[in-house]
Amino acid sequence: MPPHPNIVSLKGTYEDDNGVHLVMELCEGGELFDRIIAKGHYTERAAAGVTKTIVEVIQMCHKHGVMHRDLKPENFLFANKKETGALKAIDFGLSVFFKLGSEQGVAQAIIKYVVDFKRDPWPKKLGHQIADADLQILMGVGDVDKDGFLNYGEFVPISIHLRKMGNDDHLKDAFAFFDKNQSGYIEVEELREALADEDEANNEEVISAIIHDVDTDKDGKISFEEFTTMMKTGTDWRKASRQYSRERYNNLSLKLFQDASLDLGNEER
């Protein structure tokens, strides 16, 4: 990186028998984070000035093909303790280079940043593919205050649940919730017990539909392998019968969500 008034400078490098030592510019003003905490809040004008500096630093980095990747208040230091002290970006330990390219065919050549999203650092290989219907169920459970949004405290338990449901140990716990007699199968009577709190006339039709949909070897019961396939491939109770109301499917899914695999209070602390 070329010299820039808002990027910490490297003064020199020295090597001894134990390692290479980097001597950086001294910034006595402390972190932007600490100054924000000390102030309590910034005026709109002051915040705009800080934001402008940060954007200029990002622009400078990108102009030279550098992606910082760790921008946060802790990684900006003030040169001195004065209110007008220069704000400087530090800690390029996670930064990477990326290639610059050009795009033609418009009124004038436009420079663009070409980032290969198939290569590091962009493949964020985390996440889950969730059917819309399942997402609605999770929202119904997680959105405790029913404001239509998930705050941090509501989102974390759902994330933990999804991660657990991809783990065979927790699938075993979920399976055991239904397999009350520990026979290794979810049987008709156990499904009947799971639906016992729902006073509906067509419970038997629903049970038959679930067995028909999930019981791939047609032995009249659901093995752990069949249950695992159902959970991992997205087949769910709702697909088992068109006659089963959405509300009642939600109730059954919530029962699994709340009682089977989610002992979050104790395990995730």
φ, ψ (nearest 5 deg) of residue 41: -165, 160
Q: Rounded CA gap, 25 and 104, in Å?
A: 41
Hey, is 88 helix, strand or coil?
Answer: strand
Tokens encoding 63: 């102009």
DSSP symbols for 242-264: TTS-HHHHHHHHHHHHHHTS--H
CA atoms of 222 and 175, how far apart (whole Å): 10
Is residue 56 within a helix (H) or strand (E), and if so which, with residue range? helix 44-63
Catalytic residue among 16, 17, 34, 70: 70
Task: Identify whether 70 is a catalytic site residue.
Answer: yes
Query: Alpha-carbon distance 142 to 151, whole Å?
Result: 9
State the Cα–Cα distance between residues 89 and 71, nearest whole angstrom. Answer: 8
Residue 192 is given by DSSP the state H
Q: Is the dihedral of CA 143, 144, 146, 151 positive or negative?
A: negative
- What distance in Å separates the CA atoms of residue 159 and residue 161, rounded to the nearest whole number? 5
User: Phi/psi of residue 30, each to 5°?
Assistant: 80, 180
CA distances (Å), origin 214, targets 65, 115, 218, 236, 241: 52, 44, 9, 9, 11
The gap from C-alpha 15 to its chain's centroid, in whole angstroms, comes to 41
Q: Residues with catalytic annotation?
A: 70
